Each structure stands twice: as C-alpha cells, then as structure tokens.
Amino acid sequence: MQHIISVLVENKFGVLSRVSGLFSGRGFNIESLSVGPTLDPTVSMMTIVTVGDDRIVEQITKQLNKLVDIIKVVDLTEKEYVERETALIKINTRAEDRAEALRVADIFRAKIVDSTPNTYTIEITGDVKKIDAIINLLRPLGIKELIRTGRIAIAREEVKTVAVKEDKERRVLSQ
Amino acid sequence: MKLSGSHILIECLRREGVEVIFAYPGGVNLPIFDVLYDEKEIQVILCRHEQGGTHMAEGYARATGKPGVVLVTSGPGATNTVTAIVDAYMDSTPLVILTGQVPTKMIGNDAFQEADVVGITRPCTKYNILVKDVNDLAQAVKEAFYIATSGRPGPVLVDLPKDVVLAKTEFKYPDKVYIRSYSPVSKGNKWQIKQAAQEIMKAKRPIIYAGGGVLSSDASQELRELAEMTQIPVTLTLMGLGAFPGSHPLFLGMLGMHGMYWANMSIHNSDLIIAIGARFDDRVTGDVSRFAPHARIVHIDVDPTSIHKVITADVPIVGDAKTILKDLNQILKTSGNGSLGKHKPWMTQIEKWKQEHPLSYDQGEKIIKPQYVIEKIYQATRGNAIISTDVGQHQMWTAQFYKFDRPRTFLNSGGLGTMGYGLPAAIGAQIAYPNEQVVCIAGDGGVIMNIQELATAVQYKLPVKIAIINNKYLGMVRQWQQLFYNGRYSSSYMGDGTDFVKLAEAFGAVGLRATEVGEVDGVLQEAFAVDKPVVIDFQVDQEENCYPMIPAGAAINEMVFSDPEKQKNEKGQREEEKADGVLTA
C-alpha cells in the first residue's frame, strides 16, 4: 500500500542523503520525494511517497525517527490529508492539434505557460489522478517532455497524536 | 583567551573525562598530535593499524562502559577504521571517532589523502558530522559524546579539516546538550510495565531472554533480582554473556545457533518470553516463522526500531532496561506475592532437557580438543578474567564453556562477526584494567588479521595472553563445508607454515606451544606467570566441529548434536536396539 510520509528535518547538509540512504540501505523504494523550506529557516519539510505493507512502513517511520537530524515523522496516510502535485507537460502542437490541446487544458483547468511554433508547455496542478488523467488525454497529441514535482501533502486538521519523537513510545504502544 | 581548534578538541576530551585515546598520526591531524605531545592527563596509545586501534577502542568501551575514543588521519587512516565502526554500530558500542580531513577549501578536489569519510560512514554511524568552522567544534564534540553514549549507544564520527583545527577562537564548552531532534526514551510506559507484570504472574512456562542491552544499561543487578524473585530461568545472547552470572542455578547458558539445547528448547516451548535488551537476531531465532509458537512476548528495548522488527511483541516497552526493570521488580514485589515462582513442572522439564543433551566432547589421550583448552583457561583464570575472542568456532566454544560471572568480561564481535577483533579488543581492555587478567582466545585465521597489534601490546608492556586455538583451518568455514558442501574444503585450509612462537618472539612477546593434552596446564601456568604479552599456540584437533548447532533455515528446536556419520551410527544403534526389543517382545 502507498504511504505518504511527512518528515520534518534539520536544514543541514547531508540530511537528504541520510534519509535517502536509509531507504536504499534497507531496500525500501521511494516513489517520490520533495523537499522545501518551512516558516522556520532552520527546518525543512520532506514529503516522501513510498510503498510497503504495514510492517515495512512501521520500520520506515521508526528508522526515520531514529535519525538524529529528523525532528518529526508523520504517516499522513493514517489520517485525512490533502495532496497536490504539479506537472509541466511539453507537447507537440501541429496546427490540427492545437484546438484539442487547448480544450484538454481547459477541461483540467491547466495553464499554457509557454508556447513555441511547435510546442505548448502545460502546467497542471492537482492530485495524482488528475495529473494521470491529463497525461492520458495529451498522450495522443505527442508528449515531448514531462516533469512532475512529486507529491506534497498536508494533514487536514492539526496533527495531534502522531509519531512526534516525544510520542514515539505511545505510538509503539498503540500498535 | 583564544585557543586553536586542536587545543579546543583536547580540552573537550578532557572535560568528557577521556583517559585514553587510540591513535595514529598523519598529515592533516599533526596539529592535534602536536598538542597531545604536551598532554599529561590523556594517554595516547599508538596502534599499528587504524582498524586495530578502533577495535581497541571497542574493547575499552565494552570493558568499561565508557566511550572509546579514536583519533586517525584523513583518507586511508579514516577508511581503515570503517570495519571496526560497522562492528561497533552492530554491537551498540559507544565510540567517538575523530578523523582528520583535508582543509575545507580542498574538500572535493581529490586532494592527497582525501576521502569523503562522512559520506562513507553515514550508514554505519549513529551520527557523523563534518566540522566546517572552529566555532562549532566544541558543540560538535559535546554532542558526539552525548549521542554515542545515550539511548542505544553507537559510534559517532567527527571529521576535522586541518584548517579548522588550526584556526583559533574563544573556547566555551557547553555544559548541556539539547538536540531537538534527538531525545532517547528512558522511562518505560507504566501501563505497559504493569501488563508485563501481569504476564509474568500468569505464565506457566516463562523464560528471560536477555542481551547486550542489559550490559549497556548496567542492569545486571536488576536482571538478577527479577530472575531470583520470580524464579524464572535466564538465557543470554552471545552479546549478553556476563549480564547474568554464568554459574547461577537459574542460568541456562547461551541460546541460538550454537547455544545450549535446553535453552533453545525452553524458548521454543515457553509460554512467555521476557526479552530484555535483545533484538531477536537470526542467529538466535532460527526459522522465524516457527519461533516459539506458544509464547507471549514482552519486549524491552531502548531502540523502538528493534521492537516488532523480527517478532511481533505482545507487550512492547521502549526505554532503558535498568529503569524499566526497577519499576517492574517494584510492581512484582508488591503485587506478585503468591503468584511468583509457581512453575515447578517447567523447571523439571528444563532439567530433563539438560540431562538429554549435555554439552560434551571426547578428550582423548593425546590430541588436544579445543573445548578442553577453553575449560582449562576457565580453570586457570578461576572464571575471573576478561576474555576477548575472534570469530568462529573458538568464539562459540568460549561462549559455551567459559562461565562469565561478571558483566563486561566477554568481548567479542557478535553482530558483524569481524575476524581480527579479539587481539586489539583485549589490548583495549588491558589498558582500561592494567591489573586484570585479560585473555584473547583467537583462531589461527583471525589472529593473523590484526597480528600487528602485538607490537602495540609489547610497546606498552601489556600482559595480554593470546591463546590461539590453532586447527590450521578456518574452522567454522571448514565445518560448514563438511556439513553442507560435501566436505569440499575450498580455500579454508591455512596450512601449518606459520610458526606462532617465532612470530611472538619476533614482536618481542613470549611464544609458547602445546601440542599434546598433557602440556596444556603447564603452558597456561607458564603464560600466566609472565608479566608480558604471551602468545600460546594450542595445536588442536584439526577437524573438531562445534556442536550443538541449528543448521541454517532450521527452527530453534531442531538442533544437531554430532557429525552426520556419527548420527547415522547412533541412529543405527537405536534402531537395532529397537529391533531387538521387538524380537524379544
């Protein structure tokens, strides 16, 4: 099962490598990973999407918690959350396809952010299903290049009893 | 007053109470060695190879409970420590490794003796850090010691570029450390501890399975109290030996692959396993899917990742073993009356298993059996020595035949299984305890891997005794080849070209040899009478195998007790007897 794990980390060099090394060293796969700053400049937030059964994901979250530079780990999949991903899709635009491209973009409320005589670059933001859907519709027109940011996610309500380091113990107990 | 990074570093070590560092100089750490030249409080032990030096620090740390400190240079100096760092990481041994690094401006330029040591050691240290500014140095060192010794202990590496140790700044040592992202749990959850007490009071066939965590948290006394109060038998892991007195009537010996038959049978048939500071290693569990099918499991560990990793615990308790055991004992003392120790039939059953397959070997009249040597060392030291081993058959025989009564007296490489660990670890322990008897029991394979440290032992006049169980083979490899690879001894024969007596003498140590049973006692006496490093070459039975044994992939209750041919004979005999029985009936 897919899990979205939110990881609050110290904004130091080497931290990303510690996190990714933890996954690779144990043969856990990362589907996507995105990192960005938070309101506090000394802290960064990572959103990691990974796949595994409950046992594996429990190990992953515990191992992440164990890393010294990690402040807080939350498995968002255990609760209500909102997720978004952005993709930039560069497509071929032969004259006869342009109208179709614009129509598809319109349906998905995507934007054309760049155009050249032969291409449109479409920006789309949404959940994974939406992005997969627009890709499917644009594919017949000829996708030249595609880039996705990886998912970012945020819990819907304020996070309370989750795998905060201080709560590590309680978390183990609840399982 | 402004101090240089080197002075700050040494001052930090002093404030951490460091008494000895295991070191090897080189280009970029010369400024630090220059400061050490005038240092009176900290003893510097010059190892002969950085791996040896780091194993010495491990031996020192395991024997004392204090962190072992290593100082090496950049590049090859640092990479040579890696095996020992992984070893310490696997066995939760607290180390602080200080590595020199090329000046910050040259990092990443393929400078002379440059290696990305922080990168290389990232997955095998509890934490590591490259100090890029002399103003961060004191904080980094303070944190290194705190992280290495708190929670589940482990190695921490601090990488020190040359310009950083040369730069000057005001020295301020932080009194306290607070790391917002690191806060090991020490006190166990009260409710869970109560649950554990309930389980103990209900159990009919309980067993305590304790490991190295008991030693790390200095909880031997509490463990003993728990066992004696509840009359629950105790089995220890390889790493845990010494945590419970080896000669105690409730002690079942080591469990696992080469553990005691009765310990394994007790685990398998128990209805409650109280795991304390142990992590259900594969060498302990055998086939996990068939491990202890009827047992409820209480699992006490300071590391949350150890819990539910291999075996799902019914009562998980995260925290420090000593604190938790104190609380648990308190509860049992007040509410356990009448319901404790009521498992006589269980103890009778365990006694029966003990009778069924006692530990044994056949010591003939001439050829020395390796187990005999271990027993003799046990007698000669009155069970009171600090023993280190290498890895292999001799390690298992030591674990089986030497009864460790005191904590921190058995030093060996459990998790990683590092050959070459024994000799340097013994040196580290001897430095910590100059007046104790320290014996390294090694194989003829492993001892060669760090034999250069004999020079260190001689230089510092350390009276370590090195007993080589010399069977001319990589014994455990040969045993597996015999049992599982049709006796094809591929690359496991070491030959008998090495003269260990002369080798010892070349290093300036004393060399002794025993080739027959009758010589063992005398040679040991002679060795212990000398106040110098002594190497004893015990030429033992070349094809003795280590039993009992759980073959790979088998369950913990499926032990094998002797060689296949012998088994066949025994089985044949039994069948004949049976047939006789039928006929006469």
Domains of chain B by residue range = 2-170, 190-356, 370-539
Same-domain pairing of A88 and A59: no
Q: What is the pLDDT of residues B157-184, one digit of tens each?
A: 999 999 999 999 999 999 899 999 998 9
Selected residue of B125, B302, B305 to mutate for chain A interface (largest A Cβ count, 10 A): B305
Residue type, B519: E
Cα separation, B459 vs B43, in Å, equals: 14
Q: Which of B50, B58, B143, B375 is catalytic?
A: B50
Q: How much is the average pLDDT of A54-74?
A: 93
User: A159 to chain B nearest CA, in Å?
Assistant: 18
Clarify whether residues A72 and A93 are in a common domain: no
C-alpha distance from A8 to closest chain B C-alpha (Å):
9
Residue B116: closest CA among B132, B133, B130: B130
Burial B534-571 (b: 16+ CB within 10 A, else e): bbbbbbbbeebbbbbbbeeeebbbebeeebeeeeeeee
**Interchain proximity B179–A25, CB inside 8 Å:** no
Same domain, A112 and A72: no
Residues A71 and A105 in one domain: no
**Residue B574: per-residue pLDDT:** 52
A152: β partners:
A84
**Mutation to test the B interface, candidates A53, A172, A174, A175, most B Cβ within 10 Å:** A172
Residues A119, A141: one domain?
A: yes
CB proximity list for B61: less than 8 A, separation 6 or greater: B67, B68, B88, B93, B94, B95, B428
B449 flagged as catalytic = no
Alpha-carbon distance A170 to nearest alpha carbon in chain B (angstroms): 8
- Residues facing residue A33 across a β-bridge: A48
Q: B304 vs A17: CB contact, 8 Å cut-off?
A: no
Q: Which CATH architecture has domain B2-170?
A: 3-Layer(aba) Sandwich (3.40)
Q: For the purposes of burial, counting CB atoms within 10 Å of the CB of A99, is it exposed (0-12), middle (13-18) or buried (19 or more)?
A: exposed
Q: What are phi and psi of B220, to 5 degrees?
A: -60, -45
Q: What Cα–Cα distance (Å) separates residue B266 from each residue in A68, B206, B260, B353, B354?
A: 38, 8, 10, 9, 10
What per-residue confidence (pLDDT) applies to B219?
Answer: 98
The answer to whether residues B464 and B457 touch, using CB atoms and an 8 Å cutoff, is yes
**Same domain? A127 vs A70:** no
Angle B396-B401-B405 (CA atoms, 0-180°, nearest 5)?
110
How far is the C-alpha of A69 from the C-alpha of A9, rounded, in Å?
A: 6
Chain A residues touching residue B119 (CB < 8 angstroms): 17
- In this complex, do A66 and B304 lie within 8 Å of one another by their Cβ atoms? yes
Rounded CA separation B23/B47 (Å): 6
- Using 70 as the pLDDT threshold, list the residues of chain B that sit under it: 565-585
Q: Which CATH superfamily is domain B370-539 in?
A: Thiamin diphosphate (ThDP)-binding fold, Pyr/PP domains (3.40.50.970)
Distance, in angstroms, between B119 CA and closest chain A CA?
Answer: 8
Residue B73, exposed/middle/buried by CB under 10 A (0-12, 13-18, 19+)? buried
Q: Which of B257, B396, B476, B494 is catalytic?
A: B476
How far from each other are the two terminal CA atoms of chain A, in whole angstroms?
A: 18
Can you point out the beta strands (E) in A69-110? 70-75, 81-92
Cβ burial, residue B172 (10 Å; 0-12/13-18/19+)? exposed
Per the CB < 8 Å rule, is A166 touching B147?
Answer: no
Is B145 labeled as catalytic in the residue annotation?
A: no
B185 touching chain A per CB within 8 A: yes
> Which residues is B438 bridged to in the sheet?
B386
Q: Nearest Cβ partner of A173 from B127, B189, B309? A: B189
- Residues A106, A67 share a domain: no
The whole-angstrom distance between B396's CA and the closest CA on chain A is 29
C-alpha torsion B327→B332→B335→B338, nearest 10:
-170
Is B113 in the active site?
yes
| Mean of per-residue pLDDT scores for chain A | 88
Q: Which of B126, B142, B162, B472 is catalytic?
A: B162
Catalytic residue at B239? no
Q: Which neighbouring-strand residues pair with B210?
A: B236, B276
Q: Residue A170: pLDDT above 50?
A: no
pLDDT (0 to 100) of residue B533? 98
Task: Tell me the H-state helices in A43-116.
Answer: 54-66, 98-107
pLDDT at B336: 76
| CA distance linking residue B234 with residue B219, whole number of Å | 14
CATH architecture under which domain B190-356 falls: 3-Layer(aba) Sandwich (3.40)
pLDDT digit string, tens, across residues B126-158: 999 999 999 999 999 999 999 999 999 999 999
Contact status, residue B35 vs residue B44, Cβ threshold 8 Å: no
Q: Which is nearest to B164 in space by CA: B126, B125, B137?
A: B137
Sort out which chain B residues have CB atoms less than 8 A from A59's CB and list them: 305, 309
First to last CA, chain B: 98
CATH number, domain at A15?
3.30.70.260
| Tokens 């030996």, residue located | B241
Q: What is the mean pLDDT of chain B?
A: 95
Residue A93 sits in the same domain as residue A138: yes
Q: B493: helix, coil or strand?
A: strand
Asked if A112 and A127 sit in the same domain, the reply is yes
Place of tokens 């066992």: B227
Which residue, B160, B154, B159, B141, is CA-closest to B31? B160
What residues form DSSP beta bridges with B97?
Answer: B70, B157
Residue range A39-43: mean pLDDT, rounded: 96
pLDDT at B1: 85
> Using the beta-carbon criterion (under 8 Å), do B181 and A18 form an inter-chain contact?
no
Q: What pLDDT sits at residue B564?
A: 76
Rounded CA-CA distance A40/A28 in Å is 30
Q: Could you give the C-alpha distances from B521 to B101, B436, B570, in angstroms and in order? A: 50, 20, 33
pTM of the model: 0.93
Cα(B571)–Cα(B160) distance, rounded to whole angstroms? 64
With pLDDT > 70 as the criterion, what percentage of chain A qualifies? Answer: 90
Residue B417, number of CB atoms within 10 A of its CB: 16
The domain containing residue A146 runs over which residues? 84-152
Beta bridge partners of B368: B540
Radius of gyration, CA atoms only, chain A: 19
The beta strands (E) that lie in B417-560 are given as: 438-443, 465-470, 510-514, 534-539
Which ipTM value was assigned to this complex? 0.84
Q: Number of structural domains, chain A?
A: 2
Rounded to an integer, what is the distance from CA B45 to the centroid of its chain?
22
CATH code of A132's domain: 3.30.70.1150
Please report which confidence band the pLDDT of residue A25 belongs to, taking 50, 70 and 90 as the band edges: confident
> What does the alpha-carbon distance between residue B325 and residue B219 come to, in Å, rounded to a whole number?
8
pLDDT in the model for residue B563: 85
The answer on A111 and A138 residing in a single domain is yes
Same domain, A70 and A20: yes
Question: Residue A124 above 50 pLDDT?
Answer: yes
B109 CB contacts (<8 Å, ≥6 apart)?
A: B102
Does residue A44 sit in the same domain as residue A72? Answer: yes
Buried/exposed code over B204-216 (b: 16+ C-beta within 10 A; e: otherwise): ebbbbbbbbbbbb
Does the structure show a pLDDT above 80 at A169? no
| Annotated catalytic residue B538 | no
Rounded Cα distance between B159 and B456, Å, is 25
| Tokens coding B177 | 């450390």
CB A105 within 8 A of CB B217: no
